[in-house]
Amino acid sequence: MNNPILLKNLRSIPDFPIKGINFRDVTTLFKSAECVKIMTDELVELYKDKGITKVVGIESRGFVIGSALAARLGTGIVLCRKPGKLPADTYQQTYAKEYGTDTIEIHKDAICEDDVVLLHDDLLATGGTMRAAVDLVRKFHPKKIYVNFIIEITDEGLHGRDIFEEDTPLTTLLSV
């Protein structure tokens, strides 16, 4: 899609958080009403006819547009969070990171087998967190799972898309 207004407003910060990383800062998109509208409109267009019943926002930047998208699609929003942030019983998924492991969780009553779920996050780099979120959502046995990111990093030799099965529909708004 690569909307030129979104690309123009996306800030890149070289050597953050460590040398050699070109950090893409989505907060510059979030602070612009025009960009929020463009992102939401584009996502609604992509998913309006898919029967989505729940949008899962991945902590924490996935909550921003995920919530706007859920409101526009007329669906519920489910929070996928780090451990200890959700107050009721949860399902958890632990996954490997570059230096150790991390865990995410979702309330046990958040998704049912009749749901069609769209998982949303800000950035696809290595894909580890979203892959764990997909595996976590599969524990609920929903009818269908879709995956979306605002940005896919493709210019740094990252191939995050490759860790998802071919039958997992995956879209991004920007490729940089």
Looking at the annotation, which residues are catalytic? 61, 98
Other Cβ atoms less than 10 A from the Cβ of 90: the count is 21
Two tokens at 82? Answer: 């780090």
The string over 110-134, giving b where at least 16 C-beta atoms fall within 10 Å of a residue's C-beta and e elsewhere, is bbeeebbbbbbbbbbbebbbbbbbb
The string over 137-148, giving b where at least 16 C-beta atoms fall within 10 Å of a residue's C-beta and e elsewhere, is beebebeebbbb
**Helix, strand, coil proportions of the chain in percent (round to 5)?**
30, 35, 35
> What is d(CA 139, CA 115) in angstroms, rounded to the nearest whole number?
12
Strand 22-25 with 11-14, pairing: antiparallel
